[in-house]
Structure 1
């Protein structure tokens, strides 16, 4: 894999740390800004909504920019939003900074996904995406638990300052590793914006985006509210939240690495083999959450399965949107973040039920069930009609 791809992954690490670290900071933010934990959970949805709206919009606006300029501008805007968030005492202002950061992240990721696919041969998009998403999984292993520990020791604002600081070496890496000019596709081979947007009318693209959104909704729904499961259901101290996040991140790294080797040519088996255990795992985690050993084991397994299936489906979005070279990354970003927006909202709504802090885990199981009910008939149909192929 080319060096610029790893430099992009470094930036994704900084952004992934910000997106996921709220899972360990929500109680402190809620207490400091005098809101409920459920309300504070809206910060995760705000970030995701900003990315859903921002990904196609910002990608369309930035399609005439050289990639290096666009990537650099987005990551510096992302850093500035976190600096403002670190000093505010107002929840609405913090909410607004999350939206701004999301717009910057959306633009960056949309361009980065397209750039990553352009850096490798056309049949290695899955592996390139795995390298790029490794920045996210490393964030869940190191960055997110580190942010949680910073929040526990020095307050949640320290974690926001740390993310802003992480953006600076990533920006330097972009300056060094990404060419300043335009590549040949940008100069001569790019279709018109309208032609790229018409790709969204393809049922296969919409369907794969829906499947990716459902799986990622399950992932983000439980991850956002993992801290109360560790501290309340398992009865462990706050520092154990970081342990749970490390295990989830380690599992996600394993999942995205293995899936990256298979998602280009054999995505169907990844979904067929990984889907049922993912479905069983969420309710199993809810029923065994009071047993720390079982809790931590299942957190690792669910991280691996969630990212294996999620990354495979996002890779398929890039394949289905192959005729939209500057917008394909934004479609993949939308699929990922529709799930990230819907998941915490649905999960948060279950906190007030009798299931309490275990509600999000049950909600995740339901979301995966819906995804599999849609996906498995499609997998079966492939043997009968190659023209219906979606998950080959």
Structure 2
């Protein structure tokens, strides 16, 4: 029986056709990560030394100068901003609330920027023109915080232009790319490629590592500042603890991700999208099309399903019916469309999603 331990607690397991969402558990662990976490769980280790060794290995694998494992990408924002506020060797880790500010493109403001503001930093917004950027990025700016992905790109200036202006003023640039895997090259494109000081990536999304893990990759200064404020010390990140299981699990997941045939993986995603478009196309009152890219701007398609009044369904009632299924089926809603994402499905689950939708829509 599927997910027996969940069922013992009265929970139905979920087929995730939505995305690598925290509320659904992120993603499935890569098989090597499961093994690595089990091995880590059975032994004691010098945690600061393990964190350094894993960070160094992750940097080596990705071509970055330094690496640090956090308890998720949101914790990565807090620690990396704290690092930029105080530098890599703060006179005291009890430096917050901070007076320094963070510069952000106004179109990037979102709930995650609270992970910077909780330090007491203000946010200076800038527009797409150089004059606006130059005004916002000044002597009191600790860093620029940039959110990557097609869903943040509308009206935004080029990141390369932002990095250039920031570097002229000696201000580091942090790129939040939490959900930007695939492509796995996001682990180095923003830093080694474009010159940002650090990239922040979720460990539990596209990399399929532990959900409670994240990566800060980039300059030694940013990474050492993260380390200064984090557990097992008693800085602002003391509660953002990373266990030995997450450290080895994430390393194994990154190694596994780098060894994948990414074009073949993306091709499999497209097969699922095609199956949905063909399997739902032609049903009375139903419109379905391939959307591209994914909701986070990843380079793969998704199926966008719209239901008309003649079907007897609305978007909301159909989403609820899928969720009431056993196992539950989770989907995203984009405007008036149900978005089906193949990234988080195991082989064959796309067929189960298609069957559930066809059954609800009256197809035989």
TM-score by length of 2: 0.27
* Structure of greater Rg: 2
Structure with the higher helix share, 1 or 2: 1
TM-score by length of 1: 0.26
